Amino acid sequence: MKRWQCVVCGWIYDEAEGAPDEGIPPGTVWADVPDDFLCPDCGVGKADFEMIEVL
Amino acid sequence: MSCFPGPLVIVGAGLAGYTLAREFRKRAPDQAIVVVCADSGCQYSKPALSTAMAHGQQADDLVTATAADMADRLKIVVRNNTRVDAIDASAHALCIGNERFQYGKLVLATGAEPRLPVLEGNATAQLLSVNHLQDYRRLRQQLDHHVNPRPRLVIAGGGLVGCELANDFAQAGVDVDLVVAGEQLLSGALPAPIVQRLQERLEHAGVVCHLNRQVQGLHRHPQGLLVGLDNRQHLPAQCLVAATGLEPETRLARSASLTLGQRGITVDRYLQTSDPDIYALGDCAEVDGHSLMYVKPLMACAKALAQTLSGEPVMVRYEAMPVTLKTPAMPLRMALPARSAPGQWRIAENSQGFRAEYRNTEGRLLGYALTDGRVAEQSELDSQLPDFF
């Protein structure tokens, strides 16, 4: 499972954890997160997320 | 098909300018959009400047697109390295040297400039700031080229940026002195136990905190610089960085005699200035009396303004905006109450960390602060916060 980071504010999306508060269940890979998903911390769109290395 | 005659001209190529261009382009595929900016027009994340050391990033690593990339991707014209001298509002034109550049609608997204302390001494020109990638590049050059094993950095300002930078550089092995004008970090916006714990953690990470102190002078010194404080103490250092606040950029607005607020260009909830064809958003704008220099309100404004400019006027809505302080020494998430809201802080601590809640007399939650493991409790609290407007 991979981790993605919002390039604008640093919020991390961890595929294993999902984002349950935003309606994204644990285990949801990034490609399956809806296109209109917004970063919960800063509001930028999915297109602005970049992938970071799995730690 | 154009939404209005003439190009959309945006002054400023920061997050506000480019996001507005992107959002408007989605709604108006064919209308000319021109972004004019005094700098290189590179796209980068300003929040990332506070954590670049920990992520092993140099200034150039933070650039995600050049002006040419942005022009290509968004199908816009970017006139970078171009300083606008004034606005001739009655002629709907920007004055750039002898050029009169016509706009259909104009958007000011010129951001804010660091507020710098006035210093005495023979090295005052060496004072640095960190609000822009170019400043950050200079700071890293001064620190990275230092020959001693442990460079020393003095940061003036114990607010959000000052604390984040202090943590970032201390973690990277730099000796940091943090000079704070007030009695507490974060301008006393949070209950004392929380900011005191933050201070302890920063000190444990190697930051020396000087409270109730201001920097007064900057002098040349054999190994670099000597920073003078207002108690006559002197700190040798390689750099002095000012993180002492931001002033909205209003020069162009003044050239057009636009109404200015207490902090920025006055705009209503349609982001419109006192001139019907000029709008403003981002750090330079005071939106319905609010100056919130964060990403979330900026994004809300860019989307709303794009819609308004495309012919469907909509008022921007500011949801509650919690802020996460990017200090690994003490994870901290807070939502601060609007300044005018009367209420009280109640604070609790368990083995996981602090939880503080700010409620009014009716018990309505208006703000909160969570530390360490309790940051996870944000979801429960976020849903209770009211919108700003």
Least confident of B50-64, B192-206, B246-260: B50-64
- Output the pLDDT for position B245: 96
Residue A54 binned pLDDT confidence (cut-offs 50, 70, 90): low
Task: Give how far A17 is from chain B: nearest CA, Å.
Answer: 13
Q: Is B57 on the interface with A (CB under 8 A)?
A: no
| CATH (residue range B331-382) | 3.30.390.120
The answer to whether the Cβ–Cβ distance between A43 and B324 falls below 8 Å is no
- From chain B, pick out residues whose CB is under 8 angstroms from the CB of A9: 45, 47, 295
ipTM beyond cut 0.85: no
CB-CB under 8 Å, A10 with B326: yes
Largest CA distance in chain B: 66
The CATH architecture annotation of domain B8-113+246-309 reads 3-Layer(bba) Sandwich (3.50)
Average pLDDT over residues B71-89: 98
Band (B338; pLDDT cuts 50, 70, 90): confident
Fold that domain B116-242 belongs to in CATH? FAD/NAD(P)-binding domain (3.50.50)
B298 has a pLDDT exceeding 70: yes
Cβ burial, residue B342 (10 Å; 0-12/13-18/19+): exposed
- CATH 3.50.50.60: which residues of chain B? 8-113+246-309, 116-242
Q: So what's the pLDDT on residue A42?
A: 83
For the full predicted model, state whether its pTM sits above 0.90. Answer: yes
Confidence class for position B270, pLDDT limits 50, 70, 90: very high
Q: Which residues pair with B11 in a beta bridge?
A: B36, B108
Residue B244 to residues B80, B161, B357, Cα–Cα distance (Å)? 28, 9, 27
Q: What is the 3-state secondary structure (H, E, C) of chain B?
A: CCCCCCCEEEECCCHHHHHHHHHHHHHCCCCCEEEECCCCCCEECCHHHHCCCCCCCCHHHHEEECHHHHHHHHCCEEECCCCCCEEEHHHCEEEECCEEEECCEEEECCCEEECCCCCECCCHHHCEECCCHHHHHHHHHHHHCCCCCCCEEEEECCCHHHHHHHHHHHHCCCEEEEECCCCCHHHHCCCHHHHHHHHHHHHHCCEEEECCCCEEEEEEECCEEEEEECCCCEEEECEEEECCCEEECCHHHHHCCCCEECCEEEECCCCECCCCCEEECHHHEEECCECCCCHHHHHHHHHHHHHHHCCCCCCCCCCCCCEEECCCCCCEEEECCCCCCCCEEEEEEECCEEEEEEECCCCCEEEEEEEHHHHHHHHHHHCCCCCCC
Least confident of B83-92, B207-216, B218-227, B256-265: B218-227
CA–CA dist B124, B107 (Å, integer): 35
Q: What is the CA radius of gyration of chain A?
A: 10
Q: Under a CB-based contact definition with an 8 Å cutoff, are residues B159 and B245 in contact?
A: yes
Mutate which of A17, A36, A44, A49 to test chain B, going by most B C-beta atoms within 10 A? A44
pLDDT band at A10, cuts 50/70/90?
A: confident
For A19-48, how does the pLDDT look when each residue is reduced to its tens digit (9 = 90+)? 888 889 999 999 999 988 988 888 888 877
Q: What mean pLDDT is predicted for residues B3-11?
A: 96
Instruction: Band the pLDDT of B240: cuts 50, 70, 90.
Output: very high
What integer is the mean pLDDT of B377-384?
90
- Neighboring chain B residues of A10 at a CB cutoff of 8 Å: 47-48, 51, 326
CB contact under 8 A, A7 and B45: yes
With a pLDDT cut of 70, the percent of chain B lying above it is: 99
Interface of A with B in 1-55 (CB under 8 A): 7-11, 21, 38, 41-44, 50
CB contact under 8 A, A9 and B295: yes
Contacts of B335 in chain A (CB under 8 A): none
pLDDT of B2 strictly over 90: no
Output the pLDDT for position B148.
Answer: 67
Mean pLDDT of the region B38-42: 97
- Which chain A residue has the Cα nearest residue B16? A44
For residue B340, pLDDT beyond 80: no
- The pLDDT-based confidence of B187 (bands split at 50, 70, 90) is very high
For residue A21, list chain B residues with Cβ-Cβ distance below 8 A: 379, 382
pLDDT in tens, B131-162: 999 999 999 998 887 766 789 999 999 999 99
**Best residue in B15, B64, B164, B299 to probe A by mutation, most A CBs within 10 Å?**
B299
Q: Please, what are the domains in chain A?
A: 3-51 (2.20.28.10)
The CATH 3.30.390.120 portion of chain B extends over 331-382
pLDDT at A53: 61
Residue A52's pLDDT band (boundaries 50, 70, 90)?
low
The answer to whether A44 contacts B326, with C-beta atoms less than 8 Å apart, is no
> Looking at the partner chain, which of A7, A10, A42 has a beta carbon nearest the beta carbon of B299?
A42
> What pLDDT shows up at residue B376?
86
Residue B150: predicted pLDDT: 85
Q: Is B289 on the interface with A (CB under 8 A)?
A: no
Strands B332-335 vs B365-371: parallel, antiparallel or unpaired: antiparallel
How far apart are the C-alpha atoms of A7 and B295, rounded to whole Å?
Answer: 12
Q: Would you call A17 helix, strand, or coil by DSSP? A: coil
